[in-house]
Amino acid sequence: MQLYNYFRSSASFRVRIALQVKGLAYDYVPVHLVKGEHQAPGYAGRMGDALVPALATDDGALLSQSLAIIEYLDETHPAPPLLPAQALARARVRALAQMVACEIHPLNNLRVLKYLVRDLKVDEDAKNAWYHHWTRKGLEAFERQLALLAQERAAQGLPPSVLCWGDAPTLADCCLVPQIFNARRFNVRLDGLPLTLGAFDACMALPAFQQAQPSACPDAEA
């Protein structure tokens, strides 16, 4: 397999985590977003959205969108699973993942920030205020959801979660960890989020998450 990705892309980071959790070998193909390499004809001509990540499978298929890629990997390489076996638990994990991937991330990704500055003439302080506002609001919602799920698990007699759901990495953890990395890079306030940061810290104690982080990528910049 080949993974087309950018080391700082949180969506790419999600897929790298999934590949590491599952112990799957892949070729790392850098696509530098800031330099616009994703818009070059050789790449954009193969991808409808001209975004990263993209996964080229061993049989030649080219997959886009991080959540779809991770679920493909989970279906084709089911051990260890990134989604629970029980339907309600799967829905809970998917909802947590989508709170990050569909609510927080789209408002704050690189092309949105560039549009704010280039086209809407927003200055650096206003751009950062935008990023801080939407990321913080999203993480506060994530924290509330983790608290509700903790109550639900307790009512069902399940042990407290060490990670986002249970004590093994799931799709939700694949999404949360890159978002916290980005929040820290932009100096977003992270106080008052004990469950969220507890899950993050537990994830980062695992080798798979350490090996997938941006600083471990071959195209990482100093």
Tens of pLDDT, residue by residue over 16-59, are 999 999 999 999 999 999 898 998 888 888 888 888 999 999 99
Residue of 132, 104, 181 whose CA lies nearest to 124: 132
User: Can you say whether residue 217 is alpha, beta or left, with left for phi > 0 and alpha for psi between -120 and 50 degrees?
Assistant: beta
**Residue 7 near residue 217, CB atoms below 8 Å:** yes
Look up residue 112 and give its two tokens: 């949105």
The Cβ of residue 214 has, within 10 Å, a number of other Cβ atoms equal to: 20
The count of residues in the chain is 222
pTM here is 0.95
Look at residue 222 in the predicted model and tell me its pLDDT.
Answer: 47
Residue of 218, 213, 152 whose CA lies nearest to 10: 213
The Cβ of residue 64 has, within 10 Å, a number of other Cβ atoms equal to: 18
Domains and CATH numbers, the chain: 2-80 (3.40.30.10), 87-211 (1.20.1050.10)
pLDDT by residue for the chain (222 residues), tens digit each?
999 999 999 999 999 999 999 999 999 999 999 898 998 888 888 888 888 999 999 999 999 999 999 999 999 999 999 999 999 999 999 999 999 999 999 999 999 999 999 999 999 999 999 999 999 999 999 999 999 999 999 999 999 999 999 999 999 999 999 999 999 999 999 999 999 999 999 999 999 999 999 999 998 974
**Residue 72 near residue 141, CB atoms below 8 Å:** no
Look at residue 47 in the predicted model and tell me its pLDDT.
Answer: 85
